[in-house]
Structure 1
Amino acid sequence: MFRALISDDITLHLIEEDNLADIAGLFQGYPDSREMLEELFRNYLPQYDRAGRRTTFGFYSYLGAELAGMTLLSVDSWDEKAGSTGADVFRHMRGRGVTPRSKPHLFYLAFELLGLNRVATGCRVSNLSSKRSIEKTAGFQFEGVMRESGVNDQGEFEDELLYAILRRDWQGLYHPAAVTVVQ
């Protein structure tokens, strides 16, 4: 297994059970620390399927020397070679391109290291910053709308915009050598 993925000036550090206390310490002292820690423990911890294969690869991210947030790759189906991605960025780090610039790392993990064929993502219609971030990421193609797919913070049903990238798209857009794997 690897410990980190580096490309550009973004470093993704793999979240493991044995480094959770250190990560929780890193996440202290920010106005949105509580929300970020809740997301860490809700969505970013390692998970495994019945066969013992890891299905959740969560990372805490750095932009240069600054802690930026978290990003993840989930393997939704090993049989169908399909995954999905998501991210949470500290408020003070938003608008710096952290999420779209971390996608080459996740695509490398998905397509080169794990052999997936498809990686999907999405956002609620009202989340304009996520929509812009997804649309800035080379390779993601808009696939459609999932009508009233969930409940937003106001308790209302809201549509979700769906995007995906395929292995063949990635091969034409990204160079695997751009990502450094730290063991």
Structure 2
Amino acid sequence: MFKALQSDSLTLHLIEEENLAQIYALFQGFPDSQEMLEELFRSYLPRYERGRRSNFGFYSLLDGELAGLTLLTVDSWEERAGSTGADVFRHMRGRGATPRSKPHLFYLAFELLGLNRVATGCRVSNLSSKRSIEKTAGFQFEGVMRESGVDDQGEFEDELLYAILRRDWEQLYDKSLIRVIE
């Protein structure tokens, strides 16, 4: 298994059980450290399905500075489908960490894992996530999942759904730009 995926000034470091203590220490000292650590333990830890890893969480370094978390989940090995997500420290928002992480995640999904489809989404009210997704080459808007989640006030909210296919990735991305660090 690889340890990181790197391209230009962004490196995604794979989260493993063995490096959790170091990651916990790395995430200290920020105003939003607690909420980021809660999200790390809720969504970014390794998970396995029938002996195969299905959850690939990463912490990201942008220009050597901790930016946040990003994720590729294999939703179905049979259908070769996955999904992505991200959480960014407040002080690093707006610097492109999330859209710049997608080529790394697409490389993992399509080149290393053999998936055919990667989806993502955001709540209608999350305009910064919508902008980030729309900046990512290849993601196509597929529709609205009506009242698919509950917002902070307990109200139902629609989610916007986007996806990229392997064939789109092959046309849009240069896989030689991603370096696998073992």
* Aligned-residue offset at 1:35: 0.3
Describe the superposition over 1:71-112 as per-residue Cα deviations: whole angstroms up to 9, x where unpaired.
000000000000000000000000000000000000000000
2-structure distance, mates of 1:124, 1:60: 23
| Residue identity in the other structure for 2:111 | E
Query: 1:85 maps to which residue?
Result: 84
- Please list, as runs of the form range in 1=range in 2, the aligned pairs for 1:33-52 lying within 5 A after superposition: 33-49=33-49, 51-52=50-51
* Aligned-residue offset at 1:8: 2.1
- TM-align CA RMSD: 0.4
Query: 2:144 maps to which residue?
Result: 145
Query: 1:179 maps to which residue?
Result: 178
Extract structure 1 runs of 4+ deviating beyond 3 A.
none
Query: 2:4 maps to which residue?
Result: 4
- Please list, as runs of the form range in 1=range in 2, the aligned pairs for 1:65-84 lying within 5 A after superposition: 65-84=64-83
- Structure 1 alignment gaps of length 5 or more: none
* Aligned-residue offset at 1:65: 1.1
Describe the superposition over 1:115-171 as per-residue Cα deviations: whole angstroms up to 9, x where unpaired.
000000000000000000000000000000000001001110000000000000000
1-structure distance, mates of 2:164, 2:153: 31
- Please list, as runs of the form range in 1=range in 2, the aligned pairs for 1:51-62 lying within 5 A after superposition: 51-62=50-61
- Structure 2 alignment gaps of length 5 or more: none
Report % sequence identity.
81
Query: 1:136 maps to which residue?
Result: 135
SS in 1 for 2:137: coil
Q: So what's the TM-score if we normalise by structure 2? A: 0.99
1-structure distance, mates of 2:78, 2:88: 31
2-structure distance, mates of 1:108, 1:9: 16
Query: 1:63 maps to which residue?
Result: 62
Query: 2:114 maps to which residue?
Result: 115
2-structure distance, mates of 1:77, 1:54: 11
Q: So what's the TM-score if we normalise by structure 1? A: 0.99
